[in-house]
Structure 1
Amino acid sequence: MARAFRVYYPALPLVAEHAPHRSVYVGDADGRCQVFAWDRAAGTARQVTDRAAGTTRAAVDPGGTVVWWFDDDLTGIGTWQVSDFDQPEHPRPALPGLGPARPAGLAMAADGTALVGLADADGVALYRRAASGGVEPVARMSGYAHLVDVDPTGQLLVVGRDAASPEAVTVLTTGGDPVAVLPAGPDRRLWPLGFAPVPDPAHLLLVVEESGEYGLASWTRADGLTRHPGRFDTEITAGWYPDGTRVLVRQDRHAGSHLHRVDLATGTRTAVPTPAGSILDAAVWPDGDIAYVWTDSATPPQIRSVAGVELPAGPDDGPADGAVSLAEYCRRTEVWVPGPAGDIHALVAAPADRAGPLPAVFLVHGGPFQHARDAYDPLVEVLVRTGCAVVRVNYRGSSGYGAAWRNDFRAGVGLTQLEDLAAVRAHLCEQGVIAERRVALWGSSWGGYLTLLALGRQPDLWRLGVAVNPVADYVAAFAAATPAIRALDTTLFGGTPDEVPQRYAEASPVSYVDQVSVPVFLAVATDDVRCPPAPVERYAGALLRRRIPVKLLRTRAGHEDFDARGHIALMQAVLLFMQQHFDGVRDEGTSVALAMARPAD
């Protein structure tokens, strides 16, 4: 029997600062992400893009007259296009004369002047586009960098680099002249967030990680960096209120989220009421209303407003037609398990009609600095329907548990995380929740990497592995990576493969491929530049030569696939593979229909 589930791509509308009734957002159009222009006053939402691979990057100018969107190929390389808000069907190049590149930031001043960052293999080039359409080069920066914001007057811009680097934050004039460099280091990380909407002086908001806590800071040309009172024990991000004196702070804490209104001068913190669960994004709109994307483990993401403004009607918030609510058939619990470096938090979902010990699938989150949330995941719903328990572990490196947890890789990259996965597995087996000999791993991206590493390093613990767009060989992946990925890897490993070869070798799944003894499902994307497919294909070949059951699925996509049909095909292929090779999976799980809801008319 087919079951209907839903895949969602919710995102907050981006509001035109001086025309707040106009905004753009990314919504669903026949199973693909596309850009829509929404006029709240007129009550209309018009589709701007209709690209086969979908479109996920968009912006609107402060006056609400021009829509920006990025026209990229599957590798992420492309060009910015602009369309008139009222006539989106006639796009034109935003930066005529410039070739394709990777996007590295887009910011706009109050008069419509746009600052654009474009990245290539050598670094990032910054350009200024006047509201009239003229384009001028501003500066070029080597290595990894990204444009964060421009101040409302169009005089200053800010560029971010690695948060722990001596050049973590750089402020330039929009003519390219250096103004300030704000240094950081391993014991004091620094993230720039954006300029206040109120000019004179230009007031830059930042987050500082220091002494294991997170705080707010600001910078002005006259006063330099100022630390503000108040500290948070877990990761935060923030955005300005329109008055330029208060900020909205979104805090990820454990598997949930909280919103706070903070007065920068006094440090006074006021909770913004939201339901328990996760806030995936939040922003203060020009009229002072707070819009946010909310979800919990049983509820697909919803766009909400504190003031109750009716927002674009995206996906249906309830279950698909004819489906039973997830809360009715799924038993959800949370556990804290003693581990090598402290208690490990894990989310457990299990069929309400089955007692343990159950076959289990560990869904390994990507990252490395993400975390498993109290948030809806269609994979959890599908796997619980098959009769499996689903375990999501917030191993070391996960955000939401403080700086010490997030930065702990003491046993080595990947190896530290495997210690925590094994500890949670052992605890749940001892408690009779999951069956000792029927535990599988499933992960995408960095989660897929950890899956392959665990199958080789801990061959006695896992009975099947599913790795979607994983890293199989860290050295080969580094050689093919973008500057941003190389910067991340260099930070994680403390150097490049030439500088610390042993660390890369110890962390690479290919080093342990001969120890893998269980069935493995591998999926690769032809145009994936984050986790290149060739090393994964070689890894699959090594398994086949040893007669290990392996399935290799190739998809025509980039690292992120924004076409729901791809997700459906992948999920059905994996479930069939599990039914063949993993004891305890119910037959009904192999027939899955995933429905995509449509955006507002």
Structure 2
Amino acid sequence: MRHALLLALLLAAAPAAAQRMRPADVDKLPSSPPTLTEAYGSAPAQVGDLRLPAGAGPHPVVIIIHGGCWWKGYAERKNTAALASRLTERGFATWNIEYRQLGEDGPDGKNGGDAGAGWPGTFQDWAAATDHLRALAKRYPLDLSRVAATGHSAGAHAALWVASRHKLPKDSEIASPDPLKIGAAVAIDGPPEPGLEREAFEKGCGVPAVTRLFGGTPAQQPRRYAEGSPQALLPLGVKSGVISASLFLSPGAATKWVTEARAGKDIASALIVDGTGHHDTIAPGSPVWPQIEAFLVEQLKVSP
């Protein structure tokens, strides 16, 4: 009954979810309460919301990573709460995570957001949150053989990176000794290759987001960009999808991802959406949502 009521509320919100939604509009969309909010680390931002679908399980799992230019004050996980709720309605357990972001003075007086944000801390947060599913699966009916990841905008890059990190060299600062296997990943209107998209992305954000995340330009930090760029790590051996709706992921960049992924024998698909807004892509009830949802549900399915 609670799930049916939530769906009715989401559909009733459709008129408010007009094109060109703002982040605050998406934050206000109805969402279901999490089954659990739990820390995956000691920093205040290292938390996530777990939502479980109806039924006994074990349930396939989708890690959800919000956007916001990796910059404090732009977006938090409430921006993807409606997305998480809707995917939970569709039968996925969802783990909607928070992470350390750039943009505010840290304790050391440097402009670096929460202490440890940027390189390597923000990448390490995405990794730690992902691997925390092993702890959650000991208490909740999660099927760790069917784990996928999706993210919006800057979180789109993070979702693809989470799915690519098993390709990192062992001596990388952002490598994990035993990364949880990801079977599928979908990037919702965000860059698979931040170095290539750096100028356009930073123009859209209005802050030097990519440069600050990697601690310099691609010329200054070539290894970081190589290890932090999912595109540079292709092929991944992971099914992937990309959704292009704005300058944050151009149709050309989406096509480049699919072409290069398929060249490495990966399964990859793209959805190019015209005439919509960047945030409409994560807003259940928006005009573009039916095709977004259909693409997400299909692409996020993982065969055990």
Q: TM-score, normalised by structure 1?
A: 0.40
Q: Do the aligned partners of 2:102 and 2:213 also contact (CA within 8 Å) in 1?
A: no
- Are 2:48 and 2:129, in contact at CA under 8 Å, matched by a contact in 1? no
**Residue in structure 1 matched with residue 244 of structure 2 by the alignment:** 524
- Say if 1:478 and 1:486, in contact at 8 Å, map to a contact too: no
The one-character-per-residue Cα deviations of 1:459-500 (angstroms, maximum 9, x if unpaired) are 752111111112111221014445455622233333222333
Structure 1 residue 427: deviation in Å?
Answer: 1.8
Task: Map 1:155-194; keep pairs closer than 5 Å.
Answer: none
Offset at residue 347 of structure 1 (A): 0.8
1:552 aligns with 2:273: no
Equivalence for 1:469: 189
Within 5 A, what are the aligned runs for 1:118-129? none
* Aligned CA distance change for structure 1 residues 468 and 572 (closer, same or farther; 3 Å): same
* Aligned-partner Cα distance in 2 for 1:398–1:450: 15
Q: Secondary structure at the match of 1:455?
A: helix
Matches within 5 A, 1:292-307: 300=30
Q: Which has the larger radius of gyration?
A: 1
CA distance in 2, matches of 1:344, 1:556: 35
TM-superposed deviation, 1:425: 2.0
- Within 1, Cα distance between the matches of 2:219 and 2:120? 17
How far did 1:384 drift?
1.8
Structure 1 residues 541 and 486: alpha-carbon distance in aligned structure 2, compared to 1, 3 A threshold: farther
How much does 1:348 deviate? Answer: 1.0
Tell me the CA shift for residue 423 of structure 1. Answer: 3.5
Q: What SS does the aligned partner of 2:164 have?
A: helix
2:11 counterpart (6, 19, 30): 6
The separation in 1 between residues aligned to 2:12 and 2:155, in whole angstroms, is 19
Greater RCO, CA 8 A, separation 6+:
2
In the alignment, is the contact (CA less than 8 A) between 2:80 and 2:96 conserved in 1? no
CA contact (8 A) 1:356 1:433 kept: yes
Do 1:357 and 1:435's aligned partners in 2 also have CA atoms closer than 8 Å? yes
Residue 570 of structure 1: which of 287, 292, 304 is its match? 292
Residue of structure 2 in register with 1:110 after alignment:
none
Length, aligned pairs only: 271
Q: Aligned in 2, Cα 1:413/1:505: closer, same or farther, shift over 3 Å?
A: farther
Structure 1 segment 76-475 matched on structure 2, within 5 A: 300=30, 332-338=35-41, 344-351=46-53, 353-367=54-68, 368-369=70-71, 370-373=75-78, 377-397=81-101, 403=106, 406-409=114-117, 411-412=119-120, 415-458=123-166, 461-475=181-195
Q: For 1:565, what is the secondary structure of its paired residue?
A: coil
- Could you tell me how far apart the structure 1 residues matched to 2:269 and 2:35 are? 31
TM-score, normalisation: structure 2: 0.73
User: What secondary structure sits across from 1:458 in the alignment?
Assistant: helix
The answer to whether the 8 A contact 1:520-1:551 is kept is yes
Letter in 2 for 1:355: A
Are the structure 2 counterparts of residues 423 and 469 from structure 1 closer, same or farther at C-alpha, using a change threshold of 3 Å? same
CA distance in 2, matches of 1:431, 1:458: 26
Structure 2, gaps ≥5 residues long: 108-112, 168-179
Change (3 A) 1:407 1:530: farther
2-structure distance, mates of 1:475, 1:342:
29
Q: CA RMSD in A?
A: 3.6
Q: C-alpha displacement at 1:434, in angstroms?
A: 1.8
* CA shift digits 1:64-91 (9 cap, x unpaired): xxxxxxxxxxxxxxxxxxxxxxxxxxxx
SS at match of 1:475: coil
* Residues 393-424 of structure 1: CA deviation (Å, up to 9, x unaligned): 11222899x94672423653753233322342
Alpha-carbon deviations, 1:135-187, whole Å to 9, x = none?
A: xxxxxxxxxxxxxxxxxxxxxxxxxxxxxxxxxxxxxxxxxxxxxxxxxxxxx
Cα 1:496/1:8, change in 2 over 3 Å: farther
The structure where helix makes up a greater share of residues is 2
Structure 1 pair 478/558, CA: closer, same or farther in 2 (3 Å)? farther
1:583: Cα distance to partner? 4.7
1:540 counterpart SS class:
helix
Q: Distance in 1 between matches of 2:214 and 2:27?
A: 35
